[in-house]
A and B are shown apart, each in its own frame.
Chain A
Amino acid sequence: EADIYQTPRYLVIGTGKKITLECSQTMGHDKMYWYQQDPGMELHLIHYSYGVNSTEKGDLSSESTVSRIRTEHFPLTLESARPSHTSQYLCASSASEGSNSPLHFGNGTRLTVT
């Protein structure tokens, strides 16, 4: 059923490492998003993209960066991971046409920085 994929599913990494969380979708959606969610807490938008070569910061300040070189991919990078980055990262996409287009989420990457 899933047309949007995130890898890795789980990642445990040491402080100071550079990491890239992958997100790919096969629906041809122009809009893509990254959300951060701590357990039992609300989702926070950290990055979004209108389309290729477009990236914007979301509502929650994040030390991560994103790129959108291809429509299908929207990777998120942390140059130097810290324990405060421990969280779940959810990627999503939506179609451009119509304001009633819902978000489709990937199954998330659960990041733990030790």
Chain B
Amino acid sequence: RKEVEQDPGPFNVPEGATVAFNCTYSNSASQSFFWYRQDCRKEPKLLMSVYSSGNEDGRFTAQLNRASQYISLLIRDSKLSDSATYLCVVRGTGFQKLVFGTGTRLLVSP
């Protein structure tokens, strides 16, 4: 079983739709969680950190469920520019190595 698992998608949604991605992690001692966005052939860019109480940044909302060991990302009012791959990232223990999920691809169409 992978340490971090994501549905690879693609999720095809129309503009204006609300879409949610989940990501599960296996290490219950994981300390910190992030969502990154990666455009085709570009480097990953931090979208948002995920806090225990949940957090929101504009149209994006991230939630953490420690009991069930998953994090989620909700995107409201999808824009064409939201089309990208969304990477779930979890920091483990020890060196606090970051573990990347394989990513969920989102395609927003007109």
> What is A's interface to B at a CB cutoff of 8 Å?
33, 39, 41-43, 45, 48, 50, 56, 88, 90, 94, 99-100, 102-108, 110
When each residue 64-106 of chain B gets 1 if its CB lies under 8 Å from chain A and 0 otherwise, what string results? 0000000000000000000000010101000111101111000
> What is B's interface to A at a CB cutoff of 8 Å?
31-32, 34, 41-46, 49, 87, 89, 91, 95-98, 100-103
Contacts of B91 in A (CB 8 A): 99-100
Taking the nearest CB of chain A, how far is it from the CB of B93, in angstroms?
9
Inter-chain contact B95/A102, CB cutoff 8 Å: no
Q: Which residue of B lies closest to A102 (CB)?
A: B46
How many cross-chain pairs have Cβ atoms below 8 Å apart between A and B? 46
Taking the nearest CB of chain B, how far is it from the CB of A93, in angstroms?
12
Inter-chain contact A107/B103, CB cutoff 8 Å: no
Q: Which residue of A lies closest to B91 (CB)?
A: A99
Question: Which of B31, B41, B98 has a CB less than 8 Å from the CB of A39?
Answer: B41
Question: Which of B31, B41, B42, B44 has a CB less than 8 Å from the CB of A43?
Answer: B44
10 contacts across the A-B interface (CB closer than 8 A)? A56-B95, A99-B31, A99-B32, A100-B32, A102-B89, A103-B46, A103-B89, A104-B46, A105-B43, A107-B42
CA distance A69 to B73 in the complex (A): 39
Contacts of A103 in B (CB 8 A): 44, 46, 89, 98
